[in-house]
Amino acid sequence: MEQSTPRAKIVQNFPAYGVSWSPSGGDTGKLLAPDDVFGDSEGSWDGVESEGGIALLKLRQGSKTQVSQATAGLSGLTTQCHVPHQSPRAQRAGDSVRRQLTLAAAAGIKAVIFYSDNLHFLEFNPGQDRDLLPTTSVDGSEADLLLQDLAAGPVVIHVDLEVRLVRTETFNIIATTPGVTSTHLIGAHLDSVPSGPGINDNASGVAVLLETALKRAGDRRNPWRFCWWGGEEAGAQGSSRFVRELQASGGIDRIKGYVNLDMAASPNHVISVYGNDQGLEGLYTEYFQDSQQPWVREDVSVGSDHRPFMAAGIAVAGLGTWGPHQVKTDEEHALFGGTAGEPYDPNYHSSQDDLANVSWSALATCAAATYAANRAVTE
């Protein structure tokens, strides 16, 4: 999904799960938002020149949903991603969503972009929901930017969605200290997207994890289990299966926390910590405070391998080199250098995500912090 007016930018950086595919070449139209923001009343589109438009609609929280067993996927302009089984923070097409889409279609809308304060993607069953409009989603911060642009003047959006049914075969590598019952896990994903070599995303996280494991190898009381996941780009398939097997065996109750390493060397980096547990996040933030290393906090999302652990009720934290915004802010530039107004990694999911386009200093910072965080947990 791409915004071409008033300025060119990609506004979809999160997994986009769709209903039906766009026509060949996609749809381009004016971005439209009804006065009631939801677009689910009979008069929502009255007085709006909506024919051929792209609708930006807010999702009602608590909407009745229907569970889908689909393993469908969608690739857009810049990403390839797949629908995971029982994804957290995903809304499936229930009666409320169907009404919004049906009314939009009746008004001549060609595609719908949903948003809410805590939404990162929508999930639909392409077999059951193929009668609905091509649909994708953005999070609340992206929606705020679009609404600001819309208030200032016309916004033109191009949406090109493709539904794929994909079977993913992958594997995990797990390293545990012999004779120790692991209470904490730390992981990074091994795979990349087909369009690029994946050096920042995620050979960087893999390297940090491997370096940490090698340094901790001599500690026979180490409570950490080191995990290299497969299938993250296909919907966190490897880590999701691991969690399901832990739940089936009863081992999930022994896990006190999971730390995720993803994209540890972005060229226009910030040092970013995220999570849903202050104690686990503190393994990193206390180190940064003690070493006078700047850092920013990123809201925990569903975009990586911490997702299935979080859904299972396990405390999670993570380290990365992107930030809470689409591009680096002036404040972040003052803290970390680099270029304000530019993406943290302009080579994300592209053929340019190679060794020539990473920040070695960011990688070293993430490695030092992860080793310190790892050592801080003892049993």
Extract the tokens encoding 325: 């915004």
Instruction: Report the 10 Å Cβ neighbour count for 158.
Output: 17
Q: How far apart are the first and last CA of the chain?
A: 48
Residues 6+ apart with CB under 8 A from 23: none
The three-state secondary structure class of 301 is coil
CB 2 within 8 A of CB 9: yes
Using CA atoms of 323, 325, 331, 332 in order, give the dihedral in degrees to the nearest 10: 20
Closest listed residue to residue 258, CA positions, set 320, 318, 204 = 318
Q: Give the integer Cα–Cα distance in Å for 73 and 80.
A: 8
CB 322 within 8 A of CB 308: no
Sign of CA dihedral 302, 303, 304, 305: positive
Using CA atoms of 240, 113, 101, 311 in order, give the dihedral in degrees to the nearest 10: 20
CB 334 within 8 A of CB 309: no
Q: Where are the alpha helices (DSSP H) in the chain?
A: 95-106, 140-152, 205-216, 237-249, 278-291, 306-311, 330-336, 360-375
In which region does residue 75 sit, left (phi positive, over 0), alpha (psi from -120 to 50) or beta (all else)? beta
Q: Give the integer Cα–Cα distance in Å for 111 and 324.
A: 27
Active site residues: 232
